[in-house]
């Protein structure tokens, strides 16, 4: 397996979605930066004075318990829009990545090159599961540093005008540690969503038309059948519905503003995401990927 082939394969995947992966994070970042600045500029003088006086008393925040968790929740709130929009892009990518190359028949061109089907599938999986969210997280990180830059300027101005020192507050911020904590959860996030991503790739490979419907309809039909079976047999619970809800529901620690003082900020993401990973779900994901590979080898036409 040639490393240059893998590099070119990744570039090809990113090139096909370059406008989306370039402009969408930029638009989100511009909105997140300009919205609070415009809100600050539109404040009346009396309101602005109240805000400045409130910020000038920020040195009292140093003694608040859980200040580290407050800063971490703030960073999570900045990352949340990027991650949510990135998830939508991921779902779209996995739904179309194998379908589009069969529709435009570019699959035959790539098969003329010394690139195996397994390598191609794995490149698409890694691109959608890791590279795409990493791009949005990189944009979110840039926004965090821009806010930190503005906050430093504001701290210097207020420090000189109100004789208040914010450096002890900055020392408790521990921004780099919080950012590394968020980034460390990327692999575990991909592993958590692996069954969903592999299912979408299977639908993208199998569908002759409308791969999104092929991904959604079987699940909906199973839930409907389970609903009638549970009602007819008078069973106590809907196992499939509850299993899907339990697996896909966000852990409490992943919701901004819900971090508790007893939570360890250095391992909060990894521990929360690790708790969502299921051995059964991972096994299903591997099975879906094996079926996807078999279909690509034996059934490449629409």
pLDDT, tens only, 254-263: 665 555 555 5
pLDDT, tens only, 6-61: 888 888 888 888 888 999 999 999 999 888 878 777 755 555 555 555 555 555 55
Report CA Rg, the chain: 24
Work out the average pLDDT over 80-87: 93
What is the pLDDT, as a whole number, of residue 218? 93
pTM of the entire predicted model? 0.84
Cα gap 63→169, rounded to integer Å: 10
pLDDT at residue 138 is higher than 90: yes
- Break the chain down into helix, strand, coil percent, rounded to 5: 80, 0, 20
Query: Which pLDDT band holds residue 252 (cuts at 50, 70, 90)?
Result: low
What is the DSSP track for 253-274? GGSTT---TTS-TTTHHHHHHH
Q: How far is CA 243 from CA 178, 211, 221, 278, in A?
A: 31, 24, 16, 11
What is the pLDDT, as a whole number, of residue 259? 59
Sole residue written with tokens 């591997």: 286
- Phi and psi dihedrals of 64, rounded to 5? -75, 130
What is the pLDDT, as a whole number, of residue 180? 87
């Amino acid at each position: 397996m040639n490393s240059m082939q893998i590099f070119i394969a990744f570039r090809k995947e990113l090139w096909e979605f370059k406008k989306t992966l370039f402009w969408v994070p930029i638009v989100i970042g511009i909105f997140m930066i300009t919205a609070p600045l415009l809100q600050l500029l539109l404040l009346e003088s009396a309101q602005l004075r109240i805000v400045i006086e409130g910020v000038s008393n920020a040195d009292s925040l140093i003694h608040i318990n859980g200040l580290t968790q407050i800063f971490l929740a703030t960073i999570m709130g900045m990352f949340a829009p990027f991650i949510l929009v990135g998830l939508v892009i991921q779902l779209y990518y996995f739904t179309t990545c194998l379908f589009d190359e069969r529709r435009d028949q570019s699959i035959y061109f790539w098969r003329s090159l010394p690139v195996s089907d397994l390598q191609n599938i794995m490149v698409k999986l890694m691109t959608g599961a890791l590279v795409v969210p990493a791009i949005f997280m990189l944009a979110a990180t840039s926004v965090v540093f821009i806010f930190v830059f503005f906050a430093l300027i504001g701290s210097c101005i207020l420090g000189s005008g109100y004789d208040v020192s914010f450096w002890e507050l900055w020392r408790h911020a521990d921004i780099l540690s919080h950012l590394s904590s968020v980034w460390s959860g990327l692999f575990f996030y991909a592993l958590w969503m692996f069954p969903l991503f592999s299912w979408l790739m299977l639908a993208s490979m199998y569908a002759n038309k409308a791969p999104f419907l092929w991904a959604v309809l079987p699940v909906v039909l199973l839930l409907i059948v389970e609903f009638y079976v549970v009602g007819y047999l008078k069973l106590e619970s809907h196992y499939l519905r509850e299993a899907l809800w339990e697996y896909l529901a966000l852990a409490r620690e992943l919701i901004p503003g819900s971090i508790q003082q007893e939570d360890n900020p250095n391992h909060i993401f990894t521990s929360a995401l690790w708790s969502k990973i299921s051995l059964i779900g991972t096994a299903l994901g591997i099975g879906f990927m094996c079926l996807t590979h078999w279909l690509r080898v034996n059934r490449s036409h629409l």
